[in-house]
Structure 1
């Protein structure tokens, strides 16, 4: 194991986290992968497990305005002309604290021409009998009001069968449509009657998803939950708190192999292109902070009670 990677464990859960991108590199339960892992060297493929900040998803053409200034972010999605996933996914974070079952890392986003603000971002990972728990907290250390958004970027794995055979439940009543070219965000529409409606668990099949959901339904603990199952009965759940009103879901389609090897499930504090639309954009004043949390846990059909009708689902 490299000196950038750390193992944390509790009971039957074990995770590898890395200072590269503040990322979750691997998560296993009883030896079974719950996320698509990646290697200890080289570039992180497909943003797997990274922390995306100070914006999630894309800023179209990298252009936005803040505090009366027109600004331009570097483009890293040249095919679609967009700035993807923030400024910290490819940085080396500083290790703050390591224990047997937890790890904290931090990264300072310094004032630049593209993003003229100073943020300090910390991510804390912990494992216990309930799975892996992540918390990301950002603080504005500058004098201006910083536009801000954040998301984790795990690719979930339900089991050994192909993704097309997995079934999923997504507790969201609305979805943001995107253009077929350049992935430009469009209008938000109800999922009812759309192929994107997964409020009741159903098989993914050959659907291609790279969409932001909202209208999220939550349980009595004010948490939302995506549940994903393999035909064998194994599964995985990602839950998140109310600080993330959006959810990006992506079937990881590629024009080449490996394709569709996991389902990206990304709680987001704001939708794609929020730097321009302003929708749910956090405007963080000096000394203000934002904190949000999520969890990933193993599921098994045999351990679950009968399917609950909830989360605003039909039926």
Structure 2
């Protein structure tokens, strides 16, 4: 294995969530431990490093991964913040009283994590990991407990499903509870994703009946709803922080659902008008917009008609 892959294995063993087992996280760990590709993990050392001139410079020099300056926030928010929470890294260990935005901000591998890292591939590895997890716990388990505490229930076909908390899933629930009764004559929910679990609910038999196999690598929309009375298929994207159904996204969805021969309705669902305004220039023509704050109304980007599938023109 490469050193990056080995670093990912260490992060997994220490109980980091999947999002903090990626390449950026692995490179950050390597930098904090001053481990280069040909080094042994027993050579890991603790030194204080700034982000840009320390960690990112190390990654560039020794692993030839070039990150743009604007990715600094990604390092901070998606890697270093979680490393600190998990006691893998220390924040400003030399000057703990530094203000938050100080240019002297620095990080270091924690002494506890350093002991584990130095034992990688040794006879004491399993014992070191168990000792660290026993004393510190794992961030992954902590996150799971937190997510389990805050859930958004939704009832589908007599069964209750719990979506993870967040604005995106709140809008998804609003689509089912408010959009569907107003605009879908006879609704059959075939697919509902979740920000934490993409395949939270799927009616695989129902999808297969209309010619679709569930393959999440094909970039399914957030919701797939079949109107059996009119034979319309609603492909719905919820937008809170990412883009709407743009011309590019519409072509992707048409490809994914090419075998479904019924009429297709492309809908972007927004939580409110302010969010809609941010993305209005990206919305594709011949699609629909629904805003949860005004659930009984639709905005039709169609010109010569109201809601209906494109191929019925």
TM bin (shorter chain): under 0.3
The structure number with the bigger radius of gyration is 2
TM-score, with length taken from structure 2? 0.27
More helix per residue: 1 or 2?
A: 2
User: TM-score, normalising length from structure 1?
Assistant: 0.27
Q: Which has the higher contact order (CA 8 A, sep 6+)?
A: 1
